[in-house]
Amino acid sequence: MDKDLILLGHGSGGTLSHQLLDDLIVPTLSGIPPAEQNDAAVLVMEGRRLAFTTDAYVVDPVFFPGGNIGSLAVNGTVNDLAMMGARPLFLSAALIVEEGFSREELAGILRTMREAADRAHVRIVTGDTKVVPRGKADRIFITTSGVGILEHDLEIAGNGARPGDKVIVSGTIGDHGIAVLAAREGLELETAIRSDCAPLNGLVTEMLQEGEAIHVLRDPTRGGVATTLKEIARQSQVGITLREEALPFDPAVQGVCAILGLDPLYVANEGKLLAVVAPERAEGILARMREHPLGSSAAIIGEVTGEAAGRVELETVVGGRRGVEMLAGEQLPRIC
Amino acid sequence: MDKDLILLGHGSGGTLSHQLLDDLIVPTLSGIPPAEQNDAAVLVMEGRRLAFTTDAYVVDPVFFPGGNIGSLAVNGTVNDLAMMGARPLFLSAALIVEEGFSREELAGILRTMREAADRAHVRIVTGDTKVVPRGKADRIFITTSGVGILEHDLEIAGNGARPGDKVIVSGTIGDHGIAVLAAREGLELETAIRSDCAPLNGLVTEMLQEGEAIHVLRDPTRGGVATTLKEIARQSQVGITLREEALPFDPAVQGVCAILGLDPLYVANEGKLLAVVAPERAEGILARMREHPLGSSAAIIGEVTGEAAGRVELETVVGGRRGVEMLAGEQLPRIC
């Protein structure tokens, strides 16, 4: 491992990504301290709070069951805004296309983007298209950025978890990553696994009716549920205990993970959120979430503790406990 | 030429780019009509006007005299906001990095981005980093998006040119494209040609003191001065006459263009703007521009006419006239 070169793992969302971000990228570009890094920046303009975010999408393959790079790019950015409690309003789309890419496939991706935007009630208002020579990019990369507005005074951020809070996940874990992996590797599955790629802003709007009981919202994309909870534990300086028996999984996803030796807690989701909420309101929030189509399998999966700041532990089904770390290398490259 | 595939020319900024945008991308994603397409979208949020824009940068080589992909990405997005008369405030940066890229070069690019942002008085507040396997991208691509605020009621847009208006360019034409070309091809030049890459928001602030005399602002990047003026002529449904003898060139750039058979009117600029202004205020605006370091070579280069809507003509030094069209294919790929 050459420490002078950028490695695949630097894009994993896990430990290496955090090192690159914390040691180089964030201090150089912005100076925002790690505890204040969230899925989107909150900007104050003329007394109003706006959220602003960006993500580059390089998923391979470009088309997969349940979506394509276009729906991923729209929903991913919508979700990053929603995780700040913002109402997503406007998106930009910048395409980098490899010379020789099929115009018909491009048209299909663009149509999916429009459909995803319409579904999420956002508008794609500006864009850019670059074409690079054959072999200089892999088919198509899409970067979306988004602007939303915070219509409340709540402070929802990664450093908001408090001892005693409950941890909720909005549905089954690991569907997106395994759907993309299966499509890429041409796995023959008895039950097709579809990406969960979806816009979470509608679900968040329902949840925000519970107001200040919502302390943290995060979508566990790259690095999965484990890495995202580890980030929250560090930012909030709390411990988090997960109960394995409470984790919701699609049995087909669990089966593929077992066969391939993958831990689904590290597999990316693209239509799920983690919420850290006040304990006395947790059941009410859960009930609200379950009424929404994207929250029907929501579950309380753990608690925040005041011990061992930054530590995430899993209580296994058989009663053991093990520490959960961030994704170390790169489990599944180019998953988003 | 296979019409079912995406070609390099579709990223040129010229005729093929416009066809792809007008026939496929814009109707599918947004439905914004061509006459209303500008360097940035203007959004109305809570009664305030914001500008929002994005651009992907794929320049080859990544480092060139006068800048690198990082300064280009910051200044380009700052300039797109400034061309709407907006004050640029916040930027996002999404990096797509090829596995094996040098960490030191990445650090250099990031430092340049920060310096460019500081110079332009904007903050980089959010970002994303993806890494793709070796051979799946060419070193590094950067997409920046930007948010700015319109602090006035002026309507500055591509459809604002009126017969009688004067056309001003803020300085010498073609420097960026030729600097990148020379670096890419390893041309040995007696005089080094440097990219003009610079943030134009300060110059625009000065110009905006002339208020409603400023009808159109555009930065002639991909496709150059010729293509940008053609866009303005079409959007405003006017003719534009350029006087060749008035066009400011760096003699070194002119020399390289003559040797290589390139028309500098189609070569990209990254620190220049075109302004279409009310005739009675043109000299005053020009004087203001010349007092600014980035406008010291500004010149009135032509007039808007009421004849031949959409047509741009060049009055040559010897008194002839020729029509100026958009860039047809791709003169210099990956110039930005």
Highest mean pLDDT among A98-112, B7-21, B40-54: A98-112
Measured distance CA(A216)–CA(A229) in Å, rounded:
10
Measured distance CA(A175)–CA(A197) in Å, rounded:
9
| Residue B2 pLDDT grade (very low, low, confident, very high; cuts 50, 70, 90) | low
The 3-state DSSP class for residue B97 equals strand
Domain containing B173 — which CATH number? 3.90.650.10
Q: What are phi and psi of A218, to 5 degrees?
A: -145, 140
Joined together, the tokens standing for residue A150 give: 């915070």
Taking only the tens place, the pLDDT of each residue in A131-143 is 999 999 999 999 9
Domain count, chain B: 2
Its domain, for residue B287, covers 166-324
Cα–chain-centroid distance for residue A265?
Answer: 13
> B 74-93 residues with CB below 8 A of A?
89-90, 92-93
Give every CB contact of residue A193 below 8 A, 6+ residues apart in sequence: A65, A175, A178, A179, A182, A250, A252, A253, A256
Q: Are B98 and B137 in contact (CB under 8 A)?
A: yes
Q: Are B173 and B242 in contact (CB under 8 A)?
A: no
- Asked whether residue B160 is domain-assigned, the answer is no
Measured distance CA(A334)–CA(A69) in Å, rounded:
11
User: Is the pLDDT confidence value at B1 over 60?
Assistant: no
- Asked whether residue A161 is domain-assigned, the answer is no
Asked if residue B224 and residue B90 are part of one domain, the reply reads: no
Burial class of residue A168, CB neighbours in 10 A (0-12, 13-18, 19+): buried
> A 3-32 residues with CB below 8 A of B?
3-12, 17, 20-21, 24-26, 28-30, 32
Asked if residue B145 and residue B171 are part of one domain, the reply reads: no
Among B212, B111, B114, B102, CA closest to B154: B212
Joined together, the tokens standing for residue A289 give: 């979430």
Return left, alpha or beta for A185; rule: phi > 0 is left, psi -120 to 50 is alpha, else beta.
Answer: alpha
Closest Cβ–Cβ partner in B17, B100, B106 for A129: B17
What number is the average pLDDT over the span B154-180? Answer: 97
* Helices of type H across A30-102: 69-82
- Asked whether residue B332 is domain-assigned, the answer is no
- Asked whether residue B51 is domain-assigned, the answer is yes
Question: How open is the CA angle B101-B107-B111, to the nearest 5 degrees?
Answer: 140
Taking only the tens place, the pLDDT of each residue in B63-86 is 999 999 999 999 999 999 999 999
> B 161-190 residues with CB below 8 A of A?
none
Closest Cβ–Cβ partner in A6, A95, A135 for B131: A6
Cα–chain-centroid distance for residue B128?
Answer: 25
- Asked whether residue A182 is domain-assigned, the answer is yes
Asked if residue B98 and residue B224 are part of one domain, the reply reads: no
Contact list, A104 vs chain B (CB under 8 Å): 4
Measured distance CA(B24)–CA(A313) in Å, rounded:
50
Asked if residue B176 and residue B294 are part of one domain, the reply reads: yes
> Would an 8 Å CB–CB cutoff place A103 in contact with chain B?
yes
Asked if residue A209 and residue A141 are part of one domain, the reply reads: no
**Interface contact B54-A89, CB threshold 8 A:** no
Q: Domain boundary residue among B150, B179, B213?
A: B150
Per-residue three-class SS string for A128-173: EEEEECCCCECCEEEEEEEEEECCCCCCCCCCCCCCCCEEEECCCC
Among A46, A275, A35, CA closest to A159: A35
Q: Are A291 and A216 in contact (CB under 8 A)?
A: no
Among B208, B198, B204, B239, CA closest to B218: B204
The 3-state DSSP class for residue A323 equals strand
- The DSSP bridge partners found for residue A322 are A314
What number is the average pLDDT over the span B7-30? Answer: 92
- Flag the least confident range among A183-197, A257-271, B209-223, B227-241: A183-197
- pLDDT for residue B247: 98
Asked if residue A289 and residue A192 are part of one domain, the reply reads: yes
**pLDDT per residue of chain A (336 residues) written in tens, 0 to 9:** 567 999 999 998 889 999 999 999 999 999 888 888 888 999 998 888 999 999 999 999 999 999 999 999 999 999 999 999 999 999 999 999 999 999 999 999 999 999 999 999 999 999 999 999 999 999 999 999 999 999 999 999 999 999 999 999 999 999 999 999 999 999 888 888 999 999 999 999 999 999 999 999 999 999 999 999 999 999 999 999 999 999 999 999 999 999 999 999 999 999 999 999 999 999 999 999 999 999 999 999 999 999 899 999 999 999 899 999 988 877 788 999
- pLDDT for residue A2: 65
Asked if residue A220 and residue A78 are part of one domain, the reply reads: no
Q: Are B78 and B150 in contact (CB under 8 A)?
A: no
Q: Domain boundary residue among A150, A177, A207?
A: A150
- pLDDT for residue A42: 95
Measured distance CA(B306)–CA(A124) in Å, rounded:
34
User: Is the pLDDT confidence value at B41 over 70?
Assistant: yes
Asked if residue B214 and residue B282 are part of one domain, the reply reads: yes
Measured distance CA(A258)–CA(B187) in Å, rounded:
57
- pLDDT for residue A188: 86
Measured distance CA(A288)–CA(A211) in Å, rounded:
13
Most B CBs within 10 Å: which of A4, A6, A50, A62, as the mutation test of the B interface?
Answer: A6
Asked if residue A13 and residue A108 are part of one domain, the reply reads: yes
Burial class of residue A63, CB neighbours in 10 A (0-12, 13-18, 19+): middle
- pLDDT for residue A327: 85
Q: Domain boundary residue among B122, B150, B178?
A: B150
Asked if residue A134 and residue A13 are part of one domain, the reply reads: yes
Higher pLDDT, A333 or B169: B169
- pLDDT for residue B47: 85
What number is the average pLDDT over the span B18-37? Answer: 90
Among B7, B147, B26, B23, CA closest to B84: B147
Taking only the tens place, the pLDDT of each residue in B243-256 is 999 999 999 999 99
- Asked whether residue A157 is domain-assigned, the answer is no
- The DSSP bridge partners found for residue A300 are A168
Question: How open is the CA angle B1-B55-A330, to the nearest 5 degrees?
Answer: 95
Measured distance CA(B315)–CA(B299) in Å, rounded:
16
3-state helix, strand, coil in chain A (%, to 5): 35, 25, 40
Q: What percent of chain B has pLDDT over 90?
A: 89
Between the two ends of chain A, the Cα-to-Cα distance in Å is: 24
User: Is the pLDDT confidence value at B240 over 60?
Assistant: yes
What number is the average pLDDT over the span B275-293? Answer: 98
DSSP A245-306: GG----HHHHHHHHHHT--GGGS--SS--EEEE-GGGHHHHHHHHHHSGGGTT-EEEEEEES
The owner of tokens 């420490």 is A3
Among B182, B149, B184, B172, CA closest to B271: B172
Taking only the tens place, the pLDDT of each residue in A79-133 is 999 999 999 999 999 999 999 999 999 999 999 999 999 999 999 999 999 999 9
Domain containing A96 — which CATH number? 3.30.1330.10
The 3-state DSSP class for residue B293 equals helix
Joined together, the tokens standing for residue B49 give: 């006007």
- Asked whether residue A204 is domain-assigned, the answer is yes
Asked if residue B205 and residue B144 are part of one domain, the reply reads: no
- Asked whether residue B159 is domain-assigned, the answer is no
Q: Are A207 and A214 in contact (CB under 8 A)?
A: yes
Asked if residue A213 and residue A139 are part of one domain, the reply reads: no
> B 124-143 residues with CB below 8 A of A?
124-133, 135-138, 141, 143
How does the average pLDDT of chain B come out, rounded? 95
The owner of tokens 């805004």 is A81
